[in-house]
Structure 1
Amino acid sequence: MRQRAGWFWLVTGILVALFAGFMTFRTLAQATVNQALLQDVPVSQAVVAARDVPANTVLTADDLEVREMPDQFLPAGAVRDINDALDKITTVQMITGEVVQSLRLVTPDVTVATNLAFTIPAGKVVMALPPLDLMSKLGLLKAGDKVDLLVSVNVGDSASSGQLATISSLQNLTITAIVMPQIDIPQGATVSPDGSGKESGSVQALLFALDPQDALVLKYLKDSGGIIDIVLRANNSDEFARTEPVDLPYLVDKYHFQIPATQQSADTAASR
């Protein structure tokens, strides 16, 4: 009986040892395979947020760090050199470990027009728009905002005989930069929503990176005496809004009101 029990424990010990050896071999083999796979995955350096960073913050070295990451996990526009992100302003909040993207950074809009330091996207041209509308004058806009341009133009043969019409001319434009009087912003400071750190009303120009054809359209609207107003889009709004031009006949048809006789006669004469 004792001999049988001894054989049982001996066989059991051998089986346990064999199982443990098999599992150890399997684990080591899997680790070797994983290491080989990792060596085959291309990696690159990328700049990430070293801590949570609010939107509209001037980035410092304490906000950033460089890590090696697989290329397949890097988003478009990932910043590879930490110097390319220093002293830039964040347009969105960044969380710890998030890869810094160039399209979410802008240069401080506190530079004179002769020393603009932003990058123009390939195939685009930069055009300056004077801050003539109320949104611009109040300092409600900042670099990175998405906007539409509403324009009222005279559609007649001349300014005196024509009829005013309002159109949504260019949609989903991104403000590339805002030209402000030159001031100093300390590193790590959070700038005001207009990107300047100053009181509103000091905007000198809004800069847009446009397709060449859109730049020609905007120039024509300016040169023809068009009245331009800027409307702000939601940050996640990219869709194209289908709109109709608005003029006096459109308003009459929509709201069903009568035009005074003197105004109707003037409109009839203008249309001849």
Structure 2
Amino acid sequence: MPRLRRPRSPVHLLRQVAAASLACLALVLALRPPPPATGAEPTSPVAVAAADLPAGTVLAPGDLAVVRLPAGVLPGGAAADAEELTGQLLAAPVRAGEPVTDVRVVGPGLWSAVPAGLVAAPVRLADLAVAGLLRAGDRVDVLAAPGDALTATGDAAAAGVLVVAEGALVVAVPAGEAPGAVADGGLLVLAVPPDTAQQLAAAGAAGSLTVTLGRP
């Protein structure tokens, strides 16, 4: 006589249904594609140096590039457009790819301090300590000598020293405006006639420059 199977209890059936449901859910979760990646951090345009630039560079369009950087790493005072910086004077050197901020350039007051008919001419002195004695508003004579003759002898005539500019107005001493402070690399910005600016550039390339101070 065949053995009769005891009917399953409702609890047992519920357990089987629950187990099957959990198995299906696990399969669905395993096959589901991964969630899309969260959006990247927003970026902002910023003007950076296109190459290593020394202090005293008058920024031209080719000196700058505009890149996009994460907003969270942008330094304060950064310019979003290279045109904002074109024509400004670097007060300190910058590395290629470094954002050019407001503290890296001589302030806009520089150009308003240049009298009509004159230009702003960067001049780098051989003796850094001399630059540290100067401040905006001083008047100086610029002396030029071949090579390091200015420090090799105390006789200006024997050293071939020439007066390149007389009574030039100091309009900026980058990174060293206060008396006694050492200017950045001996850099001065002088207001001079255009032809004198050319002579200063030639004299600085050929030899050493220094200044004597006169009354402002």
Instruction: Say whether the fold is shared (TM-score over 0.5).
Output: no
Which structure has the larger Rg over C-alpha atoms? Answer: 2
Q: TM-score, normalised by structure 1?
A: 0.36
| TM-score (ref. length: structure 2) | 0.44
